[in-house]
């Protein structure tokens, strides 16, 4: 394959992947605690079999932006928002996972759970179980019921939060080995929900830019194809 054509095609695919990233941000603009993904591009060298011809392949990657979202007052005792580098640890079927979605509830087993139904873990490593009565949660994540300390929420921080991978249901997991949780200094705000940190205007502007880049690459491919076809016709005519 013509090396220029291969690179242009990979660039067009990369723009489509970047559009998917921005579209997912917009789709989650109202998801509590959602963190925006920033799209960036990488260029990889690829030695093809045909004559060891070098081709450049452009790929779109996503990196999570861990900045805080704005806080919305809900006056609901089981709503919590985190400020700073910190994630609630929850018990998921695939193991311990992390989330910023603090829209919590108590299930039929009296266990404190996320909106996805995943038990919130305490510092003991076990799910937090609550009985009847008023629930109070302070800035350190300590959970009190009727004035009695039940447990403290297990809140983890990461040196590089962008190294967390999405797993659906607002869950995050380390994307590779070496991404280990550490103690967090994040503050917990009871009666608030953290809104997504997605910038809607920035997303729309980004989508327009991606579409323009896509059109530009498409025109480049048209020019390259015309050149390839012209050379093929010239060879066939001889």
For residue range 83-95, what is the model confidence (pLDDT) as tens digits?
999 999 999 999 9
**Whether the predicted pLDDT of 62 surpasses 90:** no
Which whole-number Å values give the CA distances from 2 to 216, 219, 230, 232, in the listed order? Answer: 18, 16, 13, 12
For residues 112 and 227, the answer to whether their CB atoms sit within 8 Å is no
Residue 182, pLDDT score: 94
Residue predicted with more confidence, 1 or 156? 156
The token duo for 175 is 């994307």
**Whether the predicted pLDDT of 172 surpasses 60:** yes
Which whole-number Å values give the CA distances from 18 to 36, 42, 171, 196, in the listed order? Answer: 13, 12, 22, 19
* Strand-strand pairing, 155-157 and 71-73: unpaired
Residue 7, pLDDT score: 76
Is the whole-model pTM more than 0.85? no
Residue 209, pLDDT score: 92
Mean pLDDT of 115-130: 96
Helix (H, G, I), strand (E, B) or coil at 156: strand
Neighbours of 233 (CB within 10 A): 9
Please list, in sequence order, all residues whose beta carbon lies within 8 angstroms of the beta carbon of residue 213, skipping any fewer than 6 positions away.
15
**Whether the predicted pLDDT of 48 surpasses 50:** no
Q: Which stretches does DSSP call E strand in the chain?
A: 37-47, 54-64, 71-73, 80-83, 87-92, 95-99, 105-106, 112-113, 135-137, 142-145, 148-152, 155-157, 164-168, 171-174, 182-183, 187-190, 192-194
Mean pLDDT of 174-195: 93
Out of 9-13, 185-189, 210-214, the most confident range is 185-189
Q: How far apart are CA 137 and CA 139, in angstroms?
A: 7
DSSP state of 118: P
């Amino acid at each position: 394959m013509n090396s220029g054509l291969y690179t242009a095609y990979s660039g067009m695919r990369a723009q489509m992947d970047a559009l998917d990233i921005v579209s997912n941000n917009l789709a989650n603009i109202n998801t509590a605690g959602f963190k925006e993904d920033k799209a960036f591009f990488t260029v990889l060298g690829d030695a093809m079999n045909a004559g060891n011809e070098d081709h450049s392949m452009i790929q779109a990657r996503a990196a999570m932006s861990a900045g805080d979202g704005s806080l919305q007052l809900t006056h609901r005792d089981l709503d919590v928002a985190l400020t700073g580098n910190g994630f609630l640890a929850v018990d998921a079927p695939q193991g311990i996972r992390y989330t910023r979605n603090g829209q919590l509830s108590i299930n039929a087993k009296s266990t404190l759970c996320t909106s996805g139904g995943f038990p919130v873990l305490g510092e003991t490593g076990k799910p937090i179980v609550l009985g009847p009565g008023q629930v109070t949660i302070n800035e350190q994540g300590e959970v009190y019921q009727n004035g009695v300390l039940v447990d403290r929420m297990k809140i983890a921080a990461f040196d590089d939060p962008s190294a967390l991978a999405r797993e659906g249901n607002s869950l995050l997991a380390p994307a590779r080995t070496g991404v280990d949780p550490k103690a967090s200094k994040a503050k917990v705000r009871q009666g608030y929900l953290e809104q997504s940190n997605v910038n809607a205007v920035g997303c729309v502007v980004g989508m327009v830019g991606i579409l323009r880049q896509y059109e530009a690459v498409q025109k480049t491919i048209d020019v390259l194809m015309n050149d390839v076809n012209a050379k093929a016709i010239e060879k066939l005519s001889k």
